[in-house]
Amino acid sequence: MAEIKNYTMNFGPQHPAAHGVLRLVLELDGEVIERADPHIGLLHRATEKLAEHKTFLQTVPYMDRLDYVSMMLNEHAYVMAVEKLAGIEVPIRAQYIRVMYDEITRILNHLLWLGASGIDLGAMTMFFYTFREREDLLDAYEAVSGARLHAAYYRPGGVYRDLPDSMPQYEASKVHNAAAVKKMNENRQGSLLDFLEDFTNRFPGYVDEYETLLTDNRIWKQRTVGIGVVSPERALALGFTGPMLRGSGVVWDLRKKQPYEVYDRIDFDIPVGVEGDCYDRYLVRVEEMRQSNRIIKQCIDWLRKNPGPVMADNHKFAPPRRESMKQNMEELIHHFKLFSEGFHVPAGEAYSAVEHAKGEFGIYLVSDGANKPYRMKIRAPGFSHLSSLNEMTKGHMIADVVAIIGTQDIVFGEIDR
Amino acid sequence: MATDLNILSSNLNEAFSGKVVSLEERLGELTLVVKASDMLAVFTRLRDDADLRFEELIDVCGIDYSTYGSETCEDGKYLPDAPRAGSRFAAVYHLLSITHNMRLRVRVFAEEDEMPIVDSVTGIWPAANWFEREAFDLYGIIFVGHPDLRRILTDYGFVGNPFRKDFPLSGTVEMRYDAAQQRVVYEPVTVEPREITPRTMREENYGRS
């Protein structure tokens, strides 16, 4: 009989299923994983060190580049940490806008996750469907911030500006004639809120389409049911949060348990899994998209009825309005100081966490009273999830590694920071 | 939450009467400081005691306190104003109790500055594994009892602890492709340190009018 030896295989860092720059060193016994050693840090940019050399406001755009598929959620944790330390009150309208954009971001993230992990497991069509819907939401991003991805929209003290009254229109081109453009612009005639409302009315139907494709799909179930099972006790010990923890059946969602902004005024449910396998985590995420849609609807209703300021009035932290800045010496000085020296945050430390699309995203901020943070630590959910990869893949086939990386919703921007 | 924090702090004082170096509440967050020699006993009790039950370790991070409160800058590096009392390095643990819906921050100072050593908590929470590797990589804090204390975020063959305050922001080496040798070579950095907005301090109640 031939002697069978273990061998070691390198996976990545350039691999389409590695979701970025993951390098895995796999020790295999035939096709069965004995040990998986993830090598990370290939995208390490030292965001935390950079933040120590930037003013508090200059760090906001760096947050977008952490988890670059759920940009505003990262900003949210950061601005909340600054606001906590500085004691800034955020206007209620800004809180609703933040909650609405948090949920838009969650849908964006889950759509990308669904498309990408669909491709990983051979469901090619998912990607086309999910990217169709992402386009509408990215337009909503662009309408408020001017940027499709790296928005820098949340600022300490509120949000950069109020929601626009009109949406940008498509123009006729070589590809689309006037009739086609008219049809494309149909849902862009009103304000941003009208555009989003139209989206929220259509979206549940789209989710039904995804579920038709995947939920009872035999191949999808064969690839995900019973793969990467994590018990609730083990999920807690391994530091899981978010859909990874809820997939294992632990009822834990910061939006419900430690509500921030206006989540305590909003009606929504938390889906939880039973088995703790990849399929349950898929179901949890799909249901989360439906719940996010519900939250967006409630926010639209509220925002329609309640106009108001979206930035705090405290000009030691938040910039004054442009009109008043041009007529008022004091406001001009505030503006100049804010954008040159930056604001000073009182000495102390604060940890603030949000329910990120991937789990608990937290910012631990230490200030010594200067205009720059003394230390900022980013608690990225993906970091603890990926650290459990060895345990989750042990004993599985090599093809299941792809399913497990997919289910962990790995993005290297936040893991490597 | 405020009453909960009072209950939690009295529970902590009761459970660790002799071991609490300090326990303070600020901004609705509790911070417990314990000595490095007591940390394993404290953490085990924090996880297992029915009144505490911090079953999840959210985060571990290192901190270098050497230039805390200083605005002295030279060549892009910050320098301490005066010799500091107390230790330079600390490991900060953020704990979460799912059962009681509470958070706790625990800070452990490493006693020696030259060779900062604290115990590893991987035996209590497996989640600490990578977080401790990260603090080891970036700050050089040694976690005794860690099963696999390797660098994690920096490059293969990296020298130094990049997040220490005396490490320059630009790093020490840069790399480029050398056409003559047909390989990537490392050279000392040529980037000039520059700072657009200097770090400044303000009096105590600035901005709190």
Q: What pLDDT does residue B25 have?
A: 84
User: Which chain A positions have a beta carbon within 8 Å of B63's beta carbon?
Assistant: 366, 375
pLDDT value at residue B180: 92
Which residues does A236 contact at the CB level (< 8 Å), separation at least 6? A245, A250, B55, B56, B98
Of all residues in chain A, the one with the smallest CA distance to B200 is: A370
Distance CA B94, CA B104 (A): 6
User: For residue A178, how many other CB atoms are within 10 A of its CB?
Assistant: 9
Q: Considering only CB atoms, which chain B residues are within 8 Å of A87?
A: 208
Task: Give the range among A49-63, A146-160, B9-23, B122-136 with minimum mean pLDDT.
Answer: B9-23
**Amino acid code (one letter) for A40:** I
Residues 7-46 of B with CB under 8 A from A: 26-27, 29, 31
Which stretches of chain A drop beneath a pLDDT of 50? none
Per-residue confidence (pLDDT) for residue A350, from 0 to 100 = 92
Residues of A in contact with B169 (CB under 8 A): 49-50, 53
CB burial string A298-314: b at 16+ within 10 A, e below? bbbebbeeeeeebbbeb
Q: Are A374 and A52 in contact (CB under 8 A)?
A: yes
Confidence of residue B51 (pLDDT cuts 50, 70, 90): confident
pTM score, two decimals? Answer: 0.90
Angle between helices A278-305 and A92-120 in degrees, nearest 10: 150
Task: Show residues of chain A in contact with B131, CB under 8 Å.
Answer: 383-384
Answer whether A377 touches B (CB < 8 Å): yes
Most B-contacting residue of A10, A59, A236 (CB-CB within 10 A), to test interface: A236
Q: Are strands B102-109 and B29-34 parallel, antiparallel or unpaired?
A: parallel
The predicted pLDDT at position A203 comes to 92
pLDDT at res. B206:
57
Q: Do B98 and A250 touch (CB under 8 A)?
A: yes
Residue A250, both tokens: 């632990």
pLDDT value at position A295?
92
pLDDT value at residue A41: 87
Distance (Å) from the C-alpha of residue A403 to the closest C-alpha of chain B?
22
Confidence class of residue B53 from pLDDT cuts 50, 70 and 90? confident
Dist. CA A101–CA A157, nearest whole Å: 16
Give CA torsion, residues A199, A115, A149, A319, to 10 deg.
60
- Contacts with A46 from chain B: Cβ below 8 Å: 162-163
Radius of gyration of chain B, Cα coordinates, nearest whole angstrom:
20
Q: Which DSSP letter does residue B24 get?
A: E
pLDDT at B100: 86
Question: Taking residues B3-25, what's their average pLDDT?
Answer: 80
- Cβ(A250)–Cβ(A239) below 8 Å: no
Q: Do A379 and B163 touch (CB under 8 A)?
A: no
Distance between A85 CA and the closest CA of chain B, angstroms: 7
Judging contacts by C-beta atoms under 8 Å, the chain A residues touching residue B153 are 40-41, 44, 416-417
d(CA B81, CA A150): 38
For residue B175, the chain A residues in CB contact (below 8 A) are: none
Cis bond upstream, residue A91 (ω within 30): no
Q: Residue B208: list chain A partners with CB under 8 A.
A: 87, 316, 346
The ipTM is 0.87
Are A349 and B26 an interchain contact pair (Cβ–Cβ within 8 Å)?
A: yes
B103 near A CB under 8 A: yes
**Cβ neighbours for A251, distance < 8 A, ≥ 6 positions apart:** A270, A272
- pLDDT confidence band for B76 (50 / 70 / 90): low
Q: If you average pLDDT over every residue of chain B, what do you get?
A: 84
For residues B6-17, give the mean pLDDT.
80
Provide the chain A residues 302-341 that lie in CB contact (below 8 A) with chain B: 316-317, 340-341
A334-338, B82-86, B110-114, range with the lowest pLDDT: B82-86
**Given A250, A257, A383, which is nearest B101 (Cβ)?**
A257
Task: Tell me, yes or no, if A270 comes closer than 8 A to chain B by beta carbon.
Answer: no
